[in-house]
């Protein structure tokens, strides 16, 4: 039997299917019609754009002055070597480190692969990736800067940050290779309009898919937290996260009460600007407001009771009243 709802259904089920070490499928359901894509699409964007990964950002090669140079003893020129280097995925073993500089020394003949770049501090998660071929009697010495970051940063932005003698590199930090989602219909009792999210995440091995997923959720929550910070109401700032709805009500301007012109003007001339100021007053103090007669006093009392905050603040906690006084002191 269909009913009229007063709130959207909250999904309750989540299933995680690990396809392999770098690929995971997540099922979440049941969502109200239209809500699944509202959740899935921003998650996809955040997975691809905010997942933390590692990438080489700068390179120094002995005997090389720029990226279009060539190096005696190596089959590839520097441009091709850099292209191959960008295909290798690194991971700094100490997660607390933002950046690491590693020196390498190789002698030929040798075929360099990703595994040759492993060190005590740096792990290569694409060990079979080809890098370069060093000819017989060739020597190849270079230093590599690997950093932690998100998204993509072009070499032009990195150039001012690298030491002299280093070649800046385009940095592809994103460890998430692919994110796809599908929205499927899902039956709840006799209603077929509910939806299921099928989200598939593939990473490059720097992090596992569930770590990337949890990071995306955390980023989303932090982005939305802006709405729990300071709000501007009537040109004034207050902390909505700590103060909550009650404080928002109390810090509304007096004009929101829609008082008669006489009542409002009396309060305004007395420099009473906020509803919370009236809450903090006793009935005797209100009667002492200049030119505020009995009819206006009764009107104000009635309006305050209508909005749930009678004069005297009897239904407001002492802690809230104390906070209110501090907030009003800053606003006045």
Report the pLDDT value the prediction gives residue 51, as an integer from 0 to 100: 95
User: pTM higher than 0.85, yes or no?
Assistant: no
pLDDT band at 72 (very low <50, low <70, confident <90, very high): confident
Coil, strand or helix: which one is 9?
coil
Query: φ and ψ at 242, to 5 degrees?
Result: -85, -30
210: left (phi over 0), alpha (psi -120 to 50) or beta: alpha
The pLDDT of residue 241 is above 80: no
CA–CA separation, 268 and 177 (whole Å): 62
| pLDDT tens track for 95-149 | 889 999 999 999 989 999 999 999 999 999 999 999 999 999 889 999 999 999 9
**Taking all residues of the chain, what is their mean pLDDT, rounded to a whole number?**
90
Does 52-172 match 230-331 in CATH topology?
no
Would you identify the CATH topology of the domain 230-331? Answer: DNA polymerase; domain 1 (1.10.150)
Report the pLDDT value the prediction gives residue 318, as an integer from 0 to 100: 85
Report the pLDDT value the prediction gives residue 173, as an integer from 0 to 100: 96
The helix/strand count (H/E) of the chain reads as 10, 16
Query: φ and ψ at 99, to 5 degrees?
Result: -150, 150
- Return the CATH number of 13-51+176-227, one of 3.30.1360.10, 3.20.10.10, 3.40.50.2000, 3.90.1150.10: 3.30.1360.10
Report the pLDDT value the prediction gives residue 1, as an integer from 0 to 100: 54
Report the pLDDT value the prediction gives residue 8, as an integer from 0 to 100: 87
315 and 308 Cβ atoms separated by less than 8 Å: yes
| pLDDT tens track for 168-222 | 999 999 999 999 999 999 998 888 999 999 999 999 999 999 999 999 999 998 8
Average pLDDT (296-321) is 88
Query: For the chain, what are the domain ranges?
Result: 13-51+176-227, 52-172, 230-331
CA–CA separation, 194 and 179 (whole Å): 23
Domain 52-172 part of CATH 3.30.70.1560: no
271: left (phi over 0), alpha (psi -120 to 50) or beta: left
The pLDDT of residue 3 is above 80: no
């Amino acid at each position: 039997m269909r009913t009229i709802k007063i709130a959207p259904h909250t999904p309750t089920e989540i299933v995680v299917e690990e396809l392999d070490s770098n690929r995971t499928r997540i099922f979440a359901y049941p969502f109200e019609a239209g809500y699944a894509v509202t959740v899935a699409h921003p998650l996809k964007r955040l997975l691809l754009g905010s997942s933390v990964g590692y990438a080489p950002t700068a390179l120094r090669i002995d005997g090389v002055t720029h990226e279009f140079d060539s190096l005696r003893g190596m089959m590839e020129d520097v441009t091709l070597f850099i292209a191959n280097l960008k295909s290798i995925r690194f991971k700094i073993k100490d997660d607390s480190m933002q950046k690491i500089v590693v020196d390498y020394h190789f002698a030929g003949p040798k075929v360099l692969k990703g595994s040759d770049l492993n060190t005590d501090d740096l792990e290569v998660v694409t060990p079979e990736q080809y890098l370069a071929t060093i000819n017989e009697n060739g020597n190849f010495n270079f230093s590599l800067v690997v950093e932690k970051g998100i998204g993509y940063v072009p070499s032009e932005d990195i150039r001012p940050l690298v030491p002299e003698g280093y070649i800046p590199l385009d940095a592809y930090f994103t460890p998430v290779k692919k994110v796809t989602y599908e929205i499927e219909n899902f039956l709840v009792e006799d209603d077929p309009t509910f939806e299921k999210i099928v989200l598939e995440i593939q990473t490059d091995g720097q992090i596992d898919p569930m770590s990337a997923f949890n990071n995306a959720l955390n980023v989303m929550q932090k982005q939305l937290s802006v709405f729990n910070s300071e709000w501007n109401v009537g040109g004034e700032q207050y902390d909505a996260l700590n103060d909550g709805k009650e404080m928002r009500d109390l810090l509304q301007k007096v004009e929101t009460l829609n008082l008669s012109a006489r009542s409002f003007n009396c309060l305004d001339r007395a420099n009473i600007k906020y509803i919370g100021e009236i809450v903090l007053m006793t009935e005797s103090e209100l009667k002492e407001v200049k030119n505020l007669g009995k009819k206006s006093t009764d009107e104000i009392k009635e309006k305050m009771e209508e909005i749930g905050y009678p004069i005297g603040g009897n239904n407001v906690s002492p802690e809230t009243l104390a906070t209110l006084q501090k907030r009003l002191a800053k606003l006045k």
